[in-house]
Every structure is written in structure tokens, then in C-alpha cells.
């Protein structure tokens, strides 16, 4: 049999793409993954490798395109197939009843009909166009008839299929809401807080901001998701009811938050559901600001039609906002470990839907100017998404003239160094790397769980170390001894020993913890892990260029620049050298344990009986080799089990050494025994 090697690659690419699409759908949309993250990454690496070799195989639908692509100069206009309408508002059961009466009058009927109740997600409306199942456009609502073409950004959202599945129609424009789950939002803000960065106001604004990025790699880094709720255009329309339509969309691979959608047989049931959903509001993983009620029968919907901007067959019943009024008593300035100075409002304590609130984030001075908020003002605060509430407006009618503006500081409130604001940044920063406030935050971060995890060195102890002048930088931590520690209040022999042991043990922490602990800007725990896995050692990472970093999946320009800047800073270089001299030389956890197969590439094919494919790959990687999914000139060994097909043929064509399982195990064994001889 003669095989066209290009054809096999193309087929292999197609097969990999399909697998990745399926796994992506199972993981993100269904929340039912069937493979591990590592296995997913491996498939993705295989795909990327093929695409690197054969760039002509890269299509806009390739799963590789989810990472974002080159920045745009601006967004094009996008005209909608049919106008994106908005909804009239209702605020209570009574309003809902008049809505029901209005419809019945319009239709000249008295009999009840079904309604469908959907949560009203608080995000950004989107229209997605699919041609022959392929995503060809994502557009914002804009003025209703024309929005902005944000296709590049939309492609990075994992729950938006790039390719539909199962008997989809030729033409489809689906509509939905892009949003961010609360957990993801809180995590991001928590990370921002830890990094001393200004926090985001609420998930909605962050979603809108993320979708407006001209560099889609930045959008890719934001955990956005979607829930679809309707269509603007479809080539074959067979759904009799709105619920059937949602089911069809779901069947084609689109994400619908079906678990919160319900059918009500009349308006009483709608009103009951409205109360129920309000109760449920706090338990949902996303922010909703009301319930959308729609006539379920699409024939009736057509009969009802629409007014100029709103359909007659639907209404949004809003929930009361979680807002309260209180007084802004003072403002405190926080200095984060990156030097960012952020204003925090001290509020007169007030209860907002069951939670006592005494401070609110003011984010930055642009926000302060926008709100024109002053000390002494009566302010409306709202809990939305974050545990820390937001000031949404000032009740100017309640001013008495004694309120004081909040000036932007010119000097660091702690070390008095002049503050500096980078271009395009809204936060002023203290540039003094020895600023005690920055050092304190950096040390806290360094010792915290997930970073170097130094038990016993909490906020209080770090405060003391600094106050006593025992620690002036990170390195000093490793120079502590009993004598120094005895200067602490209530420090006994046992406790000092325990603390020193914890500090000593931290030297053994893997590279990913150390990288995270260093507090490199934009490198959180997740990216630290990725960098650590990729480079394996601090030296290799420190020597990496921005281009090399950019080649890594998930690393964008912001991160690569930040990493390069960190490792080219003289102070940091000295710090790392000193730490190394003190015995800190962290290595990646997943580093090869031997190097007998260094530089050798293996491909496993056929049915393996002695070990699983994954185990085989692990054996190879443990000896410094690489396991790949496809055979090429660069392959050194193909390990073939029974039933091996095209890969085996290709290996034979290319003259690649083929091993059976037994021979492979012998090779590994032999290497191991060599190793024991050497010891």
C-alpha cells in the first residue's frame, strides 16, 4: 500500500482537531471531561506541532485558534441579519400580569398559554453566525442593527463552538449573552489584589472590557463563557416552541444554561418562578439581574410580532438591586507588592442583603473622578459579583458643602517616594523596590500557601521581622538564626527551631512554587506552573527570549515582556544569585529523572498490551525523551503493538526503527540497569 504522507498528516490533523473539539465541548460545555488536562495538552501539542510544520492546515476552526491571534487596528462594523431587540422591563408580579393581559388582548384570546422563564444574565449580548456549521462571525449588539465584528475575540471563548455538530442547519445566527462566572471573577480579583493591581468593578464590566480587546490573546486569558437564548436567522426552522429551539441549539453544541430554564403553564406559574429564581439568585454560579419571560409557542410569537425596538412576546422582570446608601467616612491608601497604590473607601457599616459592609473598593483615581466621590459623601453601594462591594453613585442631593475631594497622591504614603504612572495605566506606582510596604506585601506573598508555603510566617510575624529590621529583603529570610528570632515577642527555643526548619524546608519547593512566590508581574500560580513545566529550571527560564516565551501556549505579550523584564533587572539577578548560594535551586517537579533517551522522539501505535500508551509516554519522558503523536523524519523510534496501521507503514517508509513492546521495555530496562551500574 502506498500512502501519501501529506494526506495522512491532513487526516491526522483533522482527527486531532475533532478529538480536541469533542474534549473541549465535554469539558467546558457539558462539564463532563473524559480525559485529564495533561492528556488534553498533549493532544494540543501534537496539533500545534503539525500546524507548525504545515501552516496551510491551520483553519479558523482549528482548536489552536482559541489562543488568540495578532492584534487588530480596530473592529469592523457588523450588520445583523435581523435587528437585535431589547426587552421591556417589569419589576413585580403585577407588571407580569399586565404583560399577560396585554398579550391576550392583542391575540383576542382568554385561554392561557405556556411561557418560558429564563434567567436574565448580566453580561454582553452577542450574535454568532454559522455557515455550514463553521463559526464565521461574532458581533456585538451595537445599536441593534449594526454592531462590531469581534470574531477574533469570540473564537477564544472555549464554550463557543468553532464548529457545530449533529445535523445543524446551513445558516444560523444564534444569540446569547457572554459573561464571566462569579468564581472566576473573584479569583481574578483576588489575584489582582495579591499582585497589588487595581481590581475590576464587576463581572459585567470586565466581560465587556475583555471583548473589546484588539489583541485577542488578552481575551483568551479571561475566563469568559456564554449562554445562548435565541436566534436571529436560521435556514431550516422546525422548532415549534422556544424550548424546542433551545434544545436544538444545545444539540448542535451550543451552550445553554438549561438547568435554570423552566416552562410555566400560565402567568401565575411565571410569578411563582420569579420568586423562586430570586431565592436561587445567590446560589447561582453567575450574576443574574432578572428573569426573562417569553411566550413558548413560536407561532404565537410570530403573531404577536414586535414594536419598534422590543418584541411583544417577551419581557424582562428585573430583580431589586442589592444596593444601600451609606456614608464614605475616609479613604485609606494601600500599597501592593508591585507598588500600585489603590484607594479603599472606609464606609459607615451598613447591611446589604444580609452582609455587613464597611469598606468598598474605589479601584483607581479615574473611577474617583468619574464618580466625583468625596469624603463625607452619601454613596450608593452595590454588591455585584465581588465580596467587596462597589460605590455606584454619589447622592449629590445629600451634600452639605463639607465634603472633601480625594486627591490623587503624588508620593508613596509609606516611603514618600514620588509616584509614577506608566502610559496606559490608571494606577500610580511606588517605584522604590525597597519600599517597606512593598517589601511587606512581597514577603507575605512569598511565604503564603501555594507560594513557598512557610508555615509560621504569617502577616504578624512578617510585620515583626520588618519592624525589628531583621529582614530587609527576601534573602535575609534565609539568613535568620535563633539569636535573631529571640528578639521576637514570645519566642521560645522550640518555636524558633520550628520556624527555621520551615524556612529551610522551603528550599526544596518545586520551581512552580518559587516562580509564583517571586511575584513576577502577571505570573500567577497557573502560569508559573506552565513556565516551570516548559523550562524545567530557573536558568533556562531566565535565559529565554520574549519570542521563545511567546511560542508557549497561553503566554501572551504582556506575560513574556514581564518575564523578560524581571530576569534582566540587575537587582533580581543579584537576588536570585544570592538565593542560589544559600541553597535555593528549585527544579520543575516534572523534570526528567534520567537522560538516557535525551533528544529521542518516540511514537506509540497499535494496541499496546504490556502498558498503556500513557505509561509508555511517561517512561519515555522520565528518561528525557519525547513522545509524539505522529511519525515524521524526526521520529527516532516507533513502538508498535498489534493492529498498528498507517503510522507503522510511514515509519517503515521513512526507515524509522520499529520496536515491539518487549523491545521497548528492554531498551528502558537496559538504560535503567546502566544507570544502576553507574551508581
- Residues with catalytic annotation? 120
Q: What is the largest CA-CA distance in the chain?
A: 94
Tell me the closest approach of the beta carbon of residue 131 to ligand IVH, in angstroms. 23
Tell me the closest approach of the beta carbon of residue 81 to ligand IVH, in angstroms. 13
Residue 441 touching ligand IVH (CB under 6 A) = no
Give counts: helices (H), strands (E), the chain: 25, 24
Toward ligand IVH, which CB reaches closer, 88 or 554? 88
Contact 226, 256 (CB under 8 A): no
User: CA 323, CA 590: separation in Å to the nearest integer?
Assistant: 49
Tell me the closest approach of the beta carbon of residue 292 to ligand IVH, in angstroms. 4
Q: Which residue among 177, 287, 382, 403 contacts ligand IVH (CB under 6 A)?
A: 177
Tell me the closest approach of the beta carbon of residue 122 to ligand IVH, in angstroms. 7
Toward ligand IVH, which CB reaches closer, 306 or 578? 306
Toward ligand IVH, which CB reaches closer, 67 or 314? 314
Positions in 125-154 near ligand IVH (CB under 6 A)? 125
User: Does the CA dihedral 66-67-71-75 come out positive or negative?
Assistant: positive
Pairing assessment for the beta strands 224-234 and 171-180 based on DSSP bridges? antiparallel
Toward ligand IVH, which CB reaches closer, 203 or 311? 311
Cα distance from N-terminal residue to C-terminal residue, the chain = 48
Toward ligand IVH, which CB reaches closer, 128 or 608? 128
3-state secondary structure 11-76: HHHHHHHHHHHHHHHHHHHCCCCCCCHHHHHHHHHHHHHHHHHCHHHCCCCCHHHHHCCCCCCCCC
Three-state SS at 262: strand
Residue 14 touching ligand IVH (CB under 6 A) = no
Toward ligand IVH, which CB reaches closer, 138 or 311? 311
Toward ligand IVH, which CB reaches closer, 292 or 331? 292
Residue 491 grid cell: 519566642
User: CA 484, CA 499: separation in Å to the nearest integer?
Assistant: 12
Tell me the closest approach of the beta carbon of residue 146 to ligand IVH, in angstroms. 15
Toward ligand IVH, which CB reaches closer, 204 or 438? 204
Torsion of CA 38, 39, 43, 45, to 10 degrees: 20
- Alpha helix segments (H runs only) across 426-569: 436-447, 459-467, 474-477, 482-485, 493-505, 511-518, 525-535, 538-543, 546-550, 557-568
How many residues touch ligand IVH (CB under 6 A)? Answer: 14
User: CA 450, CA 529: separation in Å to the nearest integer?
Assistant: 11
Calculate the alpha carbon distances from 340 to 60, 112, 206, 369, 520 in Å. 39, 59, 20, 18, 14
User: CA 468, CA 473: separation in Å to the nearest integer?
Assistant: 13
Positions in 297-336 near ligand IVH (CB under 6 A)? 311, 314, 316
Toward ligand IVH, which CB reaches closer, 313 or 602? 313
Toward ligand IVH, which CB reaches closer, 116 or 518? 116
Considering only the stretches 34-42, 85-93, 486-494, 515-523, report the one whose residues sit in contact with ligand IVH under the rule CB under 6 A.
85-93
Considering only the stretches 79-87, 364-372, 504-512, 628-636, report the one whose residues sit in contact with ligand IVH under the rule CB under 6 A.
79-87
Tell me the closest approach of the beta carbon of residue 235 to ligand IVH, in angstroms. 20
Tell me the closest approach of the beta carbon of residue 112 to ligand IVH, in angstroms. 22
Q: Which residue among 99, 185, 200, 229 contacts ligand IVH (CB under 6 A)?
A: 229
Toward ligand IVH, which CB reaches closer, 311 or 428? 311
Tell me the closest approach of the beta carbon of residue 565 to ligand IVH, in angstroms. 40
Residue 448 grid cell: 503564603
Mutual angle of helices 459-467 and 436-447, in 10-degree steps: 140
47 to 76: interface string for ligand IVH, x by CB under 6 A:
------------------------------
Three-state SS at 429: strand
Residue 98 grid cell: 399586565
Positions in 279-298 near ligand IVH (CB under 6 A)? 292
Tell me the closest approach of the beta carbon of residue 100 to ligand IVH, in angstroms. 18
Contact 655, 648 (CB under 8 A): no
Tell me the closest approach of the beta carbon of residue 85 to ligand IVH, in angstroms. 4
User: CA 671, CA 637: separation in Å to the nearest integer?
Assistant: 15
Pairing assessment for the beta strands 637-640 and 657-659 based on DSSP bridges? parallel
User: CA 33, CA 408: separation in Å to the nearest integer?
Assistant: 49
User: CA 50, CA 338: separation in Å to the nearest integer?
Assistant: 40
Closest to 382 in 3D by CA, of 419, 406, 350:
350
Positions in 178-217 near ligand IVH (CB under 6 A)? none
Three-state SS at 198: coil
DSSP per-residue string spanning 500-511 = HHHHHHGGG--H
Strand partners, 456: none
88 to 127: interface string for ligand IVH, x by CB under 6 A:
------------------------------x-xx---x--
Tell me the closest approach of the beta carbon of residue 170 to ligand IVH, in angstroms. 23
Place of cell 528549585: 586
DSSP-derived letter for residue 222 is S
- Interface contacts to ligand IVH, rule CB under 6 A: 85-87, 118, 120-121, 125, 177, 229-230, 292, 311, 314, 316
Amino acid at each position: 500500500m502506498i500512502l501519501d504522507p501529506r494526506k495522512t498528516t491532513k487526516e491526522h490533523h483533522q482527527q486531532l482537531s475533532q478529538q480536541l473539539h469533542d474534549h473541549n465541548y465535554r469539558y467546558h460545555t457539558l462539564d463532563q471531561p473524559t480525559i485529564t488536562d495533561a492528556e488534553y495538552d498533549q493532544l494540543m501539542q501534537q496539533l500545534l506541532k503539525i500546524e507548525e510544520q504545515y501552516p496551510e492546515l491551520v483553519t479558523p476552526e482549528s482548536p489552536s485558534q482559541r489562543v488568540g491571534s495578532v492584534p487588530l487596528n480596530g473592529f469592523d462594523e457588523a450588520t445583523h441579519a435581523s435587528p437585535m431587540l431589547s426587552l421591556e422591563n417589569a419589576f413585580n408580579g403585577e407588571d407580569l400580569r399586565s404583560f399577560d393581559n396585554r398579550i391576550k388582548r392583542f391575540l383576542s384570546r382568554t385561554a392561557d398559554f405556556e411561557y418560558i422563564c429564563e434567567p436574565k444574565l448580566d453580561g454582553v449580548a452577542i450574535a454568532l453566525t454559522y455557515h455550514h456549521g463553521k463559526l464565521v462571525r461574532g458581533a456585538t449588539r451595537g445599536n441593534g442593527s449594526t454592531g462590531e465584528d469581534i470574531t477574533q475575540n469570540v473564537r477564544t471563548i472555549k464554550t463557543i463552538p468553532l464548529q457545530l455538530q449533529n445535523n445543524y442547519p446551513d445558516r444560523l445566527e444564534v444569540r446569547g449573552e457572554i459573561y464571566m462566572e462569579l468564581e472566576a471573577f473573584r479569583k481574578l480579583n483576588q489575584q489582582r489584589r495579591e499582585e497589588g493591581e487595581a481590581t475590576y468593578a464587576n463581572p459585567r464590566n470586565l466581560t465587556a472590557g475583555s471583548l473589546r480587546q484588539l489583541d485577542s490573546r488578552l481575551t483568551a486569558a479571561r475566563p469568559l463563557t456564554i449562554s445562548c437564548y435565541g436566534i436571529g436567522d436560521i435556514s431550516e426552522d422546525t422548532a415549534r416552541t422556544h424550548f424546542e429551539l433551545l434544545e436544538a441549539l444545545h444539540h448542535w453544541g451550543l451552550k445553554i444554561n438549561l438547568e435554570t430554564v423552566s416552562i410555566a403553564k400560565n402567568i401565575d406559574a411565571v410569578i411563582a418562578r420569579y420568586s423562586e429564581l430570586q431565592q436561587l439568585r445567590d446560589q447561582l454560579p453567575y450574576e443574574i439581574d432578572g428573569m426573562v419571560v417569553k411566550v413558548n409557542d413560536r407561532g404565537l410569537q410570530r403573531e404577536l410580532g414586535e414594536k419598534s425596538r422590543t418584541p411583544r412576546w417577551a419581557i424582562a422582570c428585573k430583580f431589586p438591586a442589592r444596593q444601600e446608601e451609606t456614608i464614605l467616612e475616609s479613604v485609606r491608601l494601600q500599597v501592593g507588592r508591585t507598588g500600585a497604590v489603590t484607594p479603599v473607601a472606609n464606609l459607615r457599616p451598613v447591611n446589604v442583603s444580609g452582609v455587613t459592609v464597611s469598606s468598598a473598593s474605589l479601584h483607581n483615581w479615574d473611577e474617583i473622578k468619574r464618580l466625583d466621590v468625596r469624603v463625607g459623601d452619601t454613596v450608593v453601594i452595590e454588591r455585584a459579583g465581588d465580596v467587596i462591594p462597589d460605590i455606584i453613585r454619589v447622592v449629590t442631593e445629600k451634600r452639605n458643602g463639607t465634603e472633601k475631594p480625594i486627591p490623587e497622591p503624588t508620593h508613596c504614603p509609606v516611603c514618600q517616594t514620588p509616584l509614577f504612572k506608566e502610559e496606559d495605566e490608571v494606577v500610580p506606582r511606588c517605584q522604590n523596590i525597597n519600599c517597606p510596604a512593598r517589601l511587606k506585601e512581597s514577603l507575605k506573598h512569598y511565604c503564603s500557601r501555594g507560594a513557598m508555603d512557610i508555615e509560621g510566617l504569617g502577616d504578624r510575624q512578617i510585620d515583626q521581622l520588618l519592624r525589628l529590621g531583621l529582614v530587609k529583603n527576601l534573602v535575609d529570610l534565609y539568613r535568620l538564626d535563633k539569636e535573631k528570632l529571640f528578639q521576637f515577642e514570645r519566642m521560645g527555643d522550640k518555636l524558633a527551631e520550628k520556624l527555621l526548619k520551615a524556612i529551610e524546608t522551603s528550599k526544596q519547593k518545586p520551581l512552580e512554587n518559587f516562580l509564583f512566590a517571586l511575584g513576577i508581574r502577571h505570573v500567577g500560580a497557573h502560569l508559573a506552573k506552565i513556565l516551570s513545566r516548559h523550562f524545567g529550571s530557573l536558568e533556562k527560564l531566565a535565559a529565554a527570549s520574549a519570542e521563545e516565551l511567546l511560542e508557549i501556549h497561553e503566554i501572551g505579550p504582556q506575560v513574556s515582556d514581564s518575564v523578560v523584564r524581571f530576569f534582566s533587572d540587575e537587582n533580581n539577578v543579584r537576588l536570585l544569585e544570592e538565593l542560589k548560594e544559600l541553597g535555593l535551586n528549585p527544579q520543575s517537579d516534572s523534570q526528567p529523572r534520567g537522560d538516557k533517551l535525551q533528544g529521542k522522539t518516540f511514537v506509540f501505535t497499535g494496541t499496546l498490551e504490556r502498558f498503556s500508551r500513557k505509561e509508555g509516554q511517561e517512561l519515555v519522558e522520565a528518561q528525557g525523551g519525547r513522545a509524539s503523536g505522529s511519525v515524521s523524519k524526526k521520529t527516532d523510534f516507533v513502538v508498535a503493538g498489534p493492529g498498528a496501521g498507517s503510522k507503522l507503514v510511514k515509519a517503515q517508509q521513512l526507515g524509522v526503527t520499529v520496536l515491539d513492546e518487549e523491545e521497548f521495555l528492554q531498551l528502558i530496562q537496559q538504560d535503567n540497569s546502566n544507570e544502576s551500574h553507574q551508581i
